[in-house]
Amino acid sequence: MFPLKRITLMLALTSAASLVQAQSNVALDDLVVTGTRSETALLDLAGNTSKISEQQIDFVRADHITEVINRLPGVMVQRGNGQEHLTAIRSPILNGGAGAGSFLYLEDGIPMRAAGFANVNALFEANTEQAGGIEVVKGPGSALYGSNAVHGLINVLSRAPSLELERSVDVSVGPHDLYKFKGTVSETIGNQAYRFSLNGTHDGGWIDDSGFDQQKMTFRHDYFGVRNSFKTVFTAANLNQETAGFEVGPRAYKNTAASKTNENPEAYRDAKSVRLSTRWDHELTDSSYFSLTPYLRHTEMEFLMHFLPGTPVEENEHDSVGLLAAYYKDLDGGHKVIIGTDFEYTQGSLTEIQTVPNPFSFPKYVQGTHYDYEVDATVIAPYIHTEWQVAEKTRITAGARYEHTRYEYDNKTADGLFGNTFFRPADRDDTFNNFSPKLGLVQQLTEDTSAFVNLARGNRAPQTTDLYRSRKASNVSLEPDSEQIDSIEVGYRKVGAGIQFETSAYYMKKEDYFFRTSEDNNVPDGKTKHYGIELSVFAPLGNQFDLGGSFTYARHQYDFDNADNGIVDGNDMDTAPRHTGNVRLGWNFMPQSRAELEWIHVGRYYTDDANAHTYDGHDIFNLRATHQVSKQVTVYGRVSNLLNTEYAERADYSGPGGGDRYFVGEERGLHVGASYSF
């Protein structure tokens, strides 16, 4: 399907979506774009892609990304305080460089961060509140995406313009002075269309001396001609946050009164980001076209590192220019070829400065400038993706990606050890070359079912912080290599009318895993293995009710011994629950009204590498409802943590010096709001 038809269909579907009954907003989508960077039927996809639809986003009206994305199997994003979070996709919760570098965060296919300068909290920079969809690929699923797409990727899709004039405002209020505003205006005029969306949030913080103000904006302009189409997207985000840190002590989350005390009242996080991209599709023939997507990116962030002794302040920023270039060709017989190259050049910098004197119990954290450096990074990544219709109902996907990454590091302070703790390398250049093949097979079984097998390899160059910011003198000689993961998965899916579901099983092995242990030691050459079963399902129950859910059983284990850190081959990795689930019972009590009871389950997990400390897990219930009063007015509400359960959003163990630590989950709260279209 060439660009003009594709864009026209997209706009028509978007316009029609506002008229769809509530029941359809929970069904599995049968069209996705992330796996091949173009619209693909789910039945034809060799591998998994889960999607949160535009209608689900509008129904959930999430205050935090966790409320909507954790509906998907194999995904667990744990909330910290404010807008902070850590991610797991077919993995344990990962932090530090591993957490930043193991997941690729995209908006409309454009990385939100440069590969070597990723941020574990990067999802707060995306306008998920007003998105047109969120797609998640679990595991290394495609040759089209490179560094950081190791355990998976999250692609936030901008909302398409409407065919007719659309204007709406949405306001809501919640506990602890939580106020939200959203507004959008959109229209199509001739062969041009636009959408401008803006939202702002003020959160007074349910923990003392915490809270945040955040603003996000997205402007999208589409032009579609006879042979050329353009999609331009500009996004901007600003966050000013007063951060509450961990509550410390065994089962501290069980003491509700103490949980509201901010142990780090001076902590803060200020962040800004802007991105601009234009995708140009040019039709060459009825069966081929090329695509060029130049983009610009700027990010900057300053925050107090409250989770470290000495609480230094980190400032980082980077500017990038990039180009995604691809040629698409449909061949006779149902075959397809995509050939492309991704280019990106980035200039980044980081400082870490401690102004307070040495902490009494941690003399290694000395006052002064710990780090001050700049890095120029260049990435060049050619790839090929092919699809072959080898039989009427059998399709093979094969692809490969070669990625060249070069860092030019410039130290702005004295080389060598500082305070016998912080090692600053001398100026140097580092180069990493990675090859990632993929092979998949899809067998269509009936008109609405198919099975697939997918073999894939993922690679990532080390994060710049892994290379140039070492925490301990014992790690001076560490030289991390590119991380590599090999994956095999098999799956079966059913779409269409009636019961819909997808189930998959996977096994992955990872080498050269660079991570920081709970004892604050760097390990550059770890090995891990990951395997599990995932299920997502939607089932209508008569005319008014439906049941949807996702279930995951997974094991994430160390595949090596490291006596210094208590790691034994076969140990569970920390923060890796073996089972998670999300179940929703929906009731469409009127044609344009819906209520939903949600059960969130997180199983027990270890909080340290030696498997000596645990968190018991939790079960949380939420109740949501929305009612369309008229064509112009919709009212909605939510009771979060319906049973007022005492739980932790995140639990970990930071060694003898820190002990058990928790980001405490919020108590029961009522949220209400209304939207008005005019």
- Spatial separation of the C-alpha atoms in residues 377 and 406, rounded to whole Å: 6
Q: Give tens-digit pLDDT for 504-551.
A: 999 999 999 988 776 667 788 899 999 999 999 999 999 999 999 999
Question: Strand 579-590 vs strand 614-615: parallel, antiparallel, or unpaired?
Answer: unpaired
Two tokens at 274?
């802007």
Nearest Cα residue to 38 out of 299, 528, 305, 387: 387
Please give the pLDDT value at position 262: 86
Centroid of chain to Cα 154: 4
Each residue of 60-69: b (16+ CB within 10 Å) or e?
A: bbbbbbbbbb
Q: What is d(CA 439, CA 419) in angstroms, rounded to the nearest whole number?
A: 50
Q: Which run of H or E residues covers position 459?
A: strand 449-460
Q: Which two tokens stand for residue 470?
A: 């070492």
* 70 vs 48: CA distance, rounded Å: 16
| Per-residue model confidence (pLDDT) at position 33 | 82
pLDDT at 260: 84
- For the record, the structure tokens of 164 come out as 């007719």
pLDDT, residue 522, reads: 75
Whether the Cβ atoms of residue 588 and residue 628 lie closer than 8 Å to each other: no
Alpha helices in 534-661 (DSSP H): none
DSSP state of 610: T
Model pLDDT, residue 553: 98
Q: How far is CA 255 from CA 79, 207, 666, in A?
A: 19, 13, 12
Residue 146: exposure state from Cβ atoms within 10 A (0-12, 13-18, ≥19): buried
Specify the pLDDT at position 29.
Answer: 58
Query: How far apart, in whole angstroms, are the C-alpha atoms of residue 39 and residue 448?
Result: 18
- Report the C-alpha gap between 389 and 372 in whole angstroms: 54
Q: In angstroms, rounded to a whole number, what is the distance separating the alpha carbons of residues 406 and 432?
A: 6
From residue 123, alpha-carbon distances to 103, 113, 237 in Å are: 11, 10, 11
Contact 483, 511 (CB under 8 A): yes
Residue 19 confidence (pLDDT):
31
Beta strands (DSSP E) in 92-227 are 103-107, 110-111, 131-138, 152-158, 166-174, 178-189, 192-203, 211-224
Q: How far is CA 389 from CA 46, 386, 448, 563, in A?
A: 12, 10, 18, 51
| pLDDT lower than 70: segments of the chain | 1-29, 360-363, 471-478, 518-520
Contact 25, 60 (CB under 8 A): no
Q: Which tens digits make up the pLDDT trace of 272-293?
A: 999 999 999 999 999 999 999 9
Strands 335-354 and 313-331: antiparallel
Q: E-strand spans in 359-427?
A: 368-391, 394-411, 416-418, 422-424
Which residue segments constitute the domains of the chain, with CATH numbers given? 3-677 (2.40.170.20)
